[in-house]
A and B are shown apart, each in its own frame.
Chain A
Amino acid sequence: MSAAHGDHPKFLQHHFHSAEQQASASKLGMWLFLAQEVLFFGGIFVAYGVLRFLYPETFLAAHAYLDVKMGAINTVILITSSLTMALGVRAAQTNNQKQTVLMLALTILFACGFLVVKYFEYSHKIHVGLVTARSFSATGIAGSPHIFFSLYFAMTGLHGLHVLVGIIVLAWILMRARRGDFSSAYFTPVENAGLYWHLVDLIWIFLFPLLYLVK
């Protein structure tokens, strides 16, 4: 037993046969989690579909109060962060520790940028009363705009929460990368954090046209 112990690479858990088995098990777990995320967000997308079907005019009128420019900027920011994330994983795969750290740091930076833009959008909306439920005090929009804005805040809020969690996870991975935990033999945590981050990007790819570009 103790002999076997000495033989293990440091990252290999005892209950796995080999590094490949550990990596593939871990990745499968991550994809199962992503599948769950799809269904988790799916509910609110269906709600969007139903409400847009029932109140097309409201959606058309209310979406004009969202700032397309900010939405587009955020889309570009997230796509760019997805690129840096993918490059970070690649750097880990190729034993390029310095670049891994750099790319992870850039990804976190873009994620923060996304939240900053979102902050300006939110604070403006709160200022003019386009908030959910009882605080909704804006007037002059045709239809039932509070429905649209409840959805807007629920969808982007849930997504924003994912961005926030992503920042925390990536910061942890960044710290481990700096410590030298990863190599071409072991980069699963970088890869899985990347998968999560790409999903966050993926969801925004759908949110952006659905909320900002209603026609």
Chain B
Amino acid sequence: MSAHAHDSSEPHVLPLKIYFQVYGALLVLTGATVGVSLLDLGPNAIYIAMLVAVIKAGFVVGYFMHLRYDTRFLSLVFFGSLIFLVIFFAFTFIDLTSRDRIDQNQANFTLRKHQDIQEESTGSVTVGIKRFRSGANPPVLPKAPEVKKAPKPAAGTAAGTGAAAGTGAAAGTGAAAGTGAAAGTGTAAGTGADPGTGTGAGTSEPAGGGTAAGTGSVAGSASAAPGSGSAAPAAKAKAPAKKAPAKKAPAKKAH
């Protein structure tokens, strides 16, 4: 029995070369992430950073973790959890970005609170910090390397939650798609440019309507992107396709 089991259970051993290739790719991609962050890409940078992170994750999961060569059931378990993470992200951000469509006061409240903190640096928050301080001289902070990109300029605040909504929702997508594989973020990155202009009005509605509507066309473009991803079971393809339309729709709407 023991000898027999031994024979039939020869482990699946990957050639050494693959490990070093994957390692090289991971190092290059790490360099790319840092490099891209030095460029002045503005709010789009996060989509690219997340896209790169997803590709790296694909390499690690697919090869180092061997998922590509394991039974599909293990992929189902892993990507299943990612689908729930996407749901977690999606609904949180649908709520966060669409409150103003139900109740304008809620949106204003968020915005005002945010501005308060920005404008009066002696606002409640800072006061709170001061109160807790032990009395001794606060340690002197080293000068921070100056922030290259001016924080979302006046337009950003003026456009209000809408503009922010575009990016925010995308951030959700990006990270969540992290899960999904290259496919999801590929689209997110592609459309990333639009939502900034798409702004205010259209944010929440497409989240609902778009989900159903855009799936077909977007799924098409999404499937072109992946390549790098790992095991790519049906479950994986599904997650990004679901997300993408929410992003794509506002851009169309803006036209």
Contacts and interface: CB of A to CB of B under 8 A. Distances in A.
A194 B65 CA distance: 8
Contact of A93 (B13, B61, B70, B146): B13
B207 interface: no
Contacts of A215: 37, 41-43, 45-46, 49, 149
A21 to B, nearest CB: 10
Contacts of B81: 34-36, 38-39
A86 to B, nearest CB: 4
A86 B117 contact: no
Interface residues of B, number: 87
A19 to B, nearest CB: 4
Contacts of B66: 191
B73 A50 contact: no
B195 to A, nearest CB: 13
Contact of B129 (A36, A87, A137): A137
B155 interface: no
B9 A205 contact: no
Query: What secondary structure prevails in chain A residues at the interface with B?
Result: helix
Interface stretch (B82-90, B220-228, B247-255): B82-90
Instruction: Indicate the member of A43, A48, A76, A209 with the most B CB atoms within 10 Å.
Output: A209
A131 to B, nearest CB: 11
A31 B147 contact: no
B50 to A, nearest CB: 7
B60 A201 contact: yes
Interface in A26-69: 27-28, 31-32, 34-36, 38-39, 42-43, 45-46, 48-50, 52-58, 60-61, 64-65, 68
B104 interface: no
Q: How large is the interface on A (under 10, 10 to 19, 20 to 34, 35 or more residues)?
A: 35 or more
A50 B150 CA distance: 21
Interface in A150-208: 184-185, 187, 191, 194-195, 198-199, 201-202, 205-206, 208
Interface string B14-57: 10100110110011001001100100011101100110110011
A25 to B, nearest CB: 12
A31 B77 contact: yes
B178 A213 contact: no
Contacts of A38: 78, 81-82, 85, 179
Instruction: Indicate the member of A52, A79, A187 with the most B CB atoms within 10 Å.
Output: A79
B150 to A, nearest CB: 9
Given A24-B71, A128-B142, A60 B151 contact: yes
A139 interface: yes
Given A93-B13, A128-B141, A185 B60 contact: no
B151 A35 contact: no
B64 A85 contact: yes
Contacts of B43: 215
Given A50-B92, A198-B60, A140 B141 contact: yes
A127 interface: yes
Contact of A185 (B9, B34, B85, B145): B9
B117 A209 contact: no
Q: Which 4 interchain pairs have the tightest Cβ spacing?
A: A53-B168, A215-B45, A35-B81, A213-B37
6 contacts: A23-B9, A53-B164, A56-B152, A57-B151, A128-B139, A209-B46
Interface of B: 1-2, 5-6, 8-11, 13-14, 16, 19-20, 22-23, 26-27, 30, 33-34, 37, 41-43, 45-46, 49-50, 52-53, 56-57, 60-61, 63-66, 70-71, 73-74, 77-78, 80-82, 84-85, 88-89, 92-93, 96-97, 110, 114, 117-118, 121, 125-126, 129, 132-134, 138-142, 144-147, 149, 151-152, 156, 164, 167-168, 171-172, 175, 178-179
Given A18-B5, A31-B74, A209-B49, 20 more contacts: A20-B9, A32-B77, A35-B77, A35-B78, A46-B89, A50-B93, A53-B167, A58-B117, A61-B147, A65-B141, A72-B30, A129-B139, A136-B132, A141-B141, A184-B10, A185-B9, A205-B60, A208-B33, A209-B46, A209-B50
